[in-house]
């Protein structure tokens, strides 16, 4: 018998929580539904966009946070990609361009998916895709 599973919520570690929350909330449209403390400068946050959930956790406690991100740490998660089912990839591209997000135009993969790739402030790969 297969397990009954009704959702999946990724947790990613971020360097600067206010920057990450601003990206996911203000640029992509997620809303913050729960956090470890009020406001954007928290250590953990649960975000929601329609029926999708994403948790953000700080890489470092505030007293231990270095002044700049460790590029080796970002490289270590360069193989992580969050794929979003997005019926209008071209509209997503226009929205992101208007918001100042760097991304190459969408393209169609050999397996028939129209895809738009970009990275979030911590270097996580994001892909907005839909069958072409």
Average pLDDT of 111-121?
A: 96
What average pLDDT score do residues 82-111 get?
A: 97
Domain boundaries in the chain?
7-62, 77-132
- CA-to-CA distance for 124 and 108, rounded, in angstroms? 21
| C-alpha to C-alpha distance for 84 and 36, rounded to whole angstroms | 26
d(CA 110, CA 99): 29
Q: Which CATH class is domain 77-132?
A: alpha beta
Bin 69: left if φ > 0, else alpha if -120 < ψ < 50, else beta: beta
Tell me how far the alpha carbon of residue 8 is from its chain's centroid: 14
| Average pLDDT value over all residues in the chain | 94
What is the pLDDT, as a whole number, of residue 114?
Answer: 98
| pLDDT, mean of residues 14-23 | 96
Calpha distance 46→18 (Å, rounded): 13
Query: What is the percent of the chain where pLDDT is above 70?
Result: 100
Using the predicted structure, report yes or no on whether residue 65 has a pLDDT greater than 90: no
pTM exceeds cut of 0.85: yes
Q: What is the distance between the alpha carbons of residues 78 and 72, in angstroms, rounded to a whole number?
A: 10
- For 36-52, b/e burial (b = at least 16 CB within 10 A) is eeeebebeebbbeeeee
Domain at 7-62: CATH code? 3.10.180.10
Write the burial class of residue 53 (CB in 10 Å: 0-12 exposed, 13-18 middle, 19+ buried).
middle
pLDDT at 76: 77
| pLDDT recorded at residue 112 | 98
């Amino acid at each position: 018998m297969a397990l009954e599973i009704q959702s999946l919520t990724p947790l990613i570690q971020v360097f600067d929580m206010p920057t990450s929350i601003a990206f996911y909330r203000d640029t992509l449209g997620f809303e913050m539904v729960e956090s470890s403390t009020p406001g954007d400068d928290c250590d953990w946050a649960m975000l929601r966009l329609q029926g999708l959930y994403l948790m953000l956790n700080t890489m470092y406690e505030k007293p231990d946070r270095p002044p700049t991100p460790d590029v080796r740490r970002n490289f270590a998660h360069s193989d992580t990609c969050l794929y979003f089912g997005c019926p209008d990839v071209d509209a997503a591209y226009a929205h992101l361009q208007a918001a100042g997000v760097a991304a190459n135009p969408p393209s169609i993969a050999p397996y028939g998916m129209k895809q738009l790739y970009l990275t979030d402030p911590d270097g996580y790969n994001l892909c907005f895709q839909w069958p072409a």
